[in-house]
Amino acid sequence: MPQIPPSNAAPRIAELMRELLGFPHVASLVAGEAMAGDGAAIQLHDPATGEKTESYADAGPAVIAAAHEAAARAQAEWWGKTASERGRILWNVARLVREKAPLLAELEALSAGRLIRDIAGEAVRIAEMFEYYAGWADKLHGEVIPVPTSHLNYTRPEPYGTVVQITPWNAPLFTCGWQVAPAICAGNAVVIKPSELSPHSTLVVARLVELAGAPKGLVNVIAGAGPTAGQGAIEHPGTRLVVFVGSALAGARIAGAAARNLVPCILELGGKSANIIFDDADIHRAIPGAQAAIFGGAGQSCVAGSRILVHRAIHERFVDLYGRATATIPVGAPMDRAALMGPINNLRQYEKIQGMVRTALEQGGRLVTGGAKPAHLADSDGYFYAPTVIDGIRPGMEIATEEVFGPVVGVTAFDSEEEAVALANATPYGLAGAVWTQDVGRAHRVAARVRAGTFWINSYKTINVMSPFGGFGKSGYGRSSGREALAAYSVTKSVWVETSQTPTMTFSYSPE
């Protein structure tokens, strides 16, 4: 496998930004205009080489105020359009995203360090998200309730107004489409703060929404850090709903800030998902399935299957086959189409992974494979970490309950279905999970008993905009995607109309 050559990421990112966004650098996008921040400098790096790429200033209060003002103006205009007009504009967004998909994918690969082979299809899925919600735009209506009085009582789903969305660095393009499409379908305007480490593709999606015919400022992007720009956006009096995708730690702070501003909050947080493999599983499917579950996206996935629970009868054979298969996973640069795993997004996360692996081994875990930079990339300054398997994980170890958010999987043996379910549920999280078995009754029993927002049977990681998504426990609350996202992004108004000519009145009035 070749070494990673010095990168030309910075000039290519600038070229792509100029083409897709109209300006070549990171800035906030407010009412369609670039707006520079006035806060501390934020330095970006190329994850594949560690080289500095770009630096920009954190968004301060002036940017936040302007974004909220633009959102409020645009939302009034947007909600004033007919539902069919809003739907047509969402279709236009989808068409533009499809047209720009190859360039968007390249931008995401270079700016967020994600594999081009993974994102090429993902950019098209963003278009599908807008298509799905375009279809919903003129089908959102209330109901007539048969109240026991002489009134006509009906409901109207209405938008909140301005929604503040805060998103992480692991899949910025995907998360942006996933949250922006239902928010604007329901009639809201958006102020979105992507991760300060990868704001590029979010800026482009906001531009495409504008080019599709939406009012300028329907989607505004704040380029800045969480504790400053993110908190500022939430605390603004114009915020009506907060939607956060990220870690449980930041989620607690964000929920607190939303509560102080008396606005509701939807939280999509991390996970420690269990992949349960029974002794009757088709092992030739379970092995690649359990690899995709954790090593896709280099483990930087909220639903990553970071715990393998395997029946003791096949434990030794499974670990041997799985470890050997994992040692051959090709790791390479984002634009390397032969690679199945790319770099970690940033140095801080890379060091966190190193630290958690060290602790797992100190606490008695047995390293099966990985645990360091891949040998062929030993001289690279890129944030590459080898796919890592650690056996002998016991409840109580840090790695059994804490999210690594990297390509590291822990293996635990179990003896019974009862024990497998108990182990799967022995974390504070509840985002996802899977079971591998040929026994259909057992598959459904386990699916019903594992506390997880998404569960797969003989599969892993498939999600789709049509299906609801969210967590149990410390993986968050509220649901994104599918029809449920539209309910989450709407508030219901109840309207009462008196229909009787002689309504019952408690108070009386006699005209003079």
Residue 89 to residue 14: CA distance in whole angstroms? 28
Q: Binding of ligand NAD at residue 195 (CB under 6 A)? A: yes
Among 13, 71, 254, 424, binds ligand NAD (CB under 6 A): 254
Q: How far is CA 258 from the centre of its chain?
A: 19
457, 439 contact by CB (below 8 A)? no
Residue 461 to residue 199: CA distance in whole angstroms? 25
Among 269, 294, 443, 446, binds ligand NAD (CB under 6 A): 269
- Residue 344 three-state SS: coil
Q: How far is the CB of 438 from ligand NAD (least distance, A)?
A: 30
Q: How far is the CB of 255 from ligand NAD (least distance, A)?
A: 10
Instruction: Select 212 or 241, whichever has its Cβ closest to ligand NAD.
Output: 241
Among 28, 92, 170, 437, binds ligand NAD (CB under 6 A): 170
Residue 280 to residue 289: CA distance in whole angstroms? 15
Q: How far is the CB of 144 from ligand NAD (least distance, A)?
A: 36
Closest residue by Cα to residue 117 from 429, 294, 342: 342
> What value does the CA radius of gyration of the chain take, rounded to a whole number of Å?
25
Q: Binding of ligand NAD at residue 227 (CB under 6 A)? A: yes
Residue 7 CB partners (closer than 8 Å, separation 6+): 46, 48, 49, 51, 333
Among 140, 191, 245, 420, binds ligand NAD (CB under 6 A): 245
Question: How many residues does the structure list for the chain?
Answer: 512
Phi and psi angles of residue 405, each rounded to the nearest 5 degrees, phi first: 60, 50
Fill in the DSSP letter of residue 26.
-
Among 177, 182, 246, 392, binds ligand NAD (CB under 6 A): 246
Q: Binding of ligand NAD at residue 131 (CB under 6 A)? A: no
Instruction: Select 62 or 463, whichever has its Cβ closest to ligand NAD.
Output: 463
Among 169, 318, 460, 472, binds ligand NAD (CB under 6 A): 169
CA dihedral 143, 86, 229, 356 (to 10 degrees): 70
Residue 312 CB partners (closer than 8 Å, separation 6+): 413, 414, 415
* Binding characters for ligand NAD, 24-63, by CB under 6 A (x = yes): ----------------------------------------
Residue bearing tokens 């800035």: 27
Among 190, 403, 423, 455, binds ligand NAD (CB under 6 A): 403
Which listed range, 27-35, 54-62, 191-199, 483-491, lies at the site for ligand NAD (CB under 6 A)? 191-199
Per DSSP (E only), the strands in 270-374 are: 274-277, 307-311, 366-369
Total site size for ligand NAD, rule CB under 6 A: 29
Q: Please give the structure tokens belonging to residue 459.
A: 């599969």
Among 58, 118, 131, 268, binds ligand NAD (CB under 6 A): 268
Q: Binding of ligand NAD at residue 231 (CB under 6 A)? A: yes
403, 272 contact by CB (below 8 A)? yes
* Binding characters for ligand NAD, 94-123, by CB under 6 A (x = yes): ------------------------------
Q: Binding of ligand NAD at residue 232 (CB under 6 A)? A: no
Residue in the shown chain whose Cβ atom is closest to ligand NAD: 226
Q: How far is the CB of 106 from ligand NAD (least distance, A)?
A: 22
Residues 449-488 interacting with ligand NAD (rule: CB under 6 A): 471, 476
Instruction: Select 195 or 291, whichever has its Cβ closest to ligand NAD.
Output: 195
Residue 148 CB partners (closer than 8 Å, separation 6+): none
Residue 257 to residue 250: CA distance in whole angstroms? 11
Q: How far is the CB of 225 from ligand NAD (least distance, A)?
A: 6
Among 263, 286, 302, 443, binds ligand NAD (CB under 6 A): 302
Instruction: Select 112 or 424, whichever has its Cβ closest to ligand NAD.
Output: 112
Among 27, 166, 413, 434, binds ligand NAD (CB under 6 A): 166
Q: Which residues are catalytic?
A: 268, 302
Q: How far is the CB of 481 from ligand NAD (least distance, A)?
A: 10
Read out DSSP for 48-110? TT--EEEEEEPP-HHHHHHHHHHHHHHHHHHHHS-HHHHHHHHHHHHHHHHHHHHHHHHHHHH
Instruction: Give me the amino acid identity at 383.
Output: Y
CB atoms within 10 A of CB 507: 4
Among 177, 182, 270, 297, binds ligand NAD (CB under 6 A): 270
Instruction: Select 387 or 476, whichever has its Cβ closest to ligand NAD.
Output: 476
Q: Binding of ligand NAD at residue 405 (CB under 6 A)? A: yes
318, 277 contact by CB (below 8 A)? yes
Q: How far is the CB of 60 from ligand NAD (least distance, A)?
A: 15
Q: How far is the CB of 295 from ligand NAD (least distance, A)?
A: 16
CB atoms within 10 A of CB 264: 15
Sign, Cα dihedral of 434, 486, 29, 121: positive
Provide the binding-site residues for ligand NAD, judged by CB under 6 A. Answer: 166-170, 193, 195-196, 225-227, 230-231, 245-247, 250, 253-254, 268-271, 302, 403, 405, 431, 471, 476
